[in-house]
Amino acid sequence: MDAKMLFDQTTLECSRLITQRYSTSFTLGIKTLDKKYHLPIYAIYGFVRYADEIVDTFHEKDKKYLLDLFKKDTYEAIENRISLNPVLHAFQLIVNQYHIDLDLIEAFLKSMEMDLDFKIYNDSKYHEYIYGSAEVVGLMCLKVFVEGDLEKYNSLKDPACKLGSAFQKVNFLRDIKSDFEERGRVYFPGVDFNNFDKPAKQLIEEDIQKDFDDALDGIKRLPVGAKMGVKVAYLYYQKLFDKIKGLSPEIITQERIRIPNSRKFSLLIGTYFGMKLGLG
């Protein structure tokens, strides 16, 4: 392995480590993808994870400055095809190899900027935020999965967006307490955290279930090597969503809802054998 290949490989492995440290469920999902997709998807996750950390974690720092610098460095890395920041170098490798559209990256970074400025989201900002923070991440992954097949990409764009939207809205419900108490954010339009009731929760749940239903057809049409990993993520989030639906508004405004790692693993095994037997 020459020095450049060693540098590239090391940065990609840094992104894998970031994913493993930050997300058990995402790591499990990636492991069920065809091996050729592993490092590219880790690179995408590492990029979005670190951008998210800037706006959600570094409270004692100038977040706007850090995010502006991260954005500048991202575009320079993509243009120059190199960065000494391992996360950005790994990401630019994948952006350039799979021709990930810059407008997807711009929409994502715009959603991160919105987290610095907005606390209460109206309808238009809510949809803009979900598109930028979740749907475009699904589209970046889809670019990897279709490996240059533009016709297949275009046919799967809408369900990929619906899946990203469903995941993000479930995250909003799961994290409604911490988002409000730690960051002062309420993402759902028209929702008063202090008076969050059953009808408001039910309307949100109906919207999320429609996204899940619309996404399922797209999962069935994914390339074989990508289908199982995405299905595992789908089932994990559906199970988390089912758990949230069974709880009162009072409970989800008082605690963060989780799926135990043992249950995540059983979903992985169940999906693997189900698809091997032609049941998935």
Delimit the domains of the chain by residue range: 3-276
Can you read off the two tokens belonging to residue 247? 């709880």
Residue with the two structure tokens 């967006």:
161
Average pLDDT over residues 88-116: 97
How far CA 78 is from CA of 44, 239, 260, 265, in Å, comes to 13, 37, 38, 36
Sorted by sequence, the CB contacts under 8 Å of residue 142 that are 6+ apart come out as 153, 156, 157, 160
Average pLDDT over residues 180-197: 86
pLDDT in tens, 13-71: 999 999 999 987 788 788 889 999 999 999 999 999 999 999 988 889 999 999 999 99
Confidence (pTM): 0.90
pLDDT in tens, 67-96: 999 999 999 999 999 999 999 999 999 999
Closest CA to 201 of 239, 174, 161: 174
Q: For the domain 3-276, what is the CATH superfamily, name and number?
A: Farnesyl Diphosphate Synthase (1.10.600.10)
Query: ∠ CA(12), CA(159), CA(23), 5° rounding?
Result: 35
Q: Is the pLDDT of residue 232 over 90?
A: no
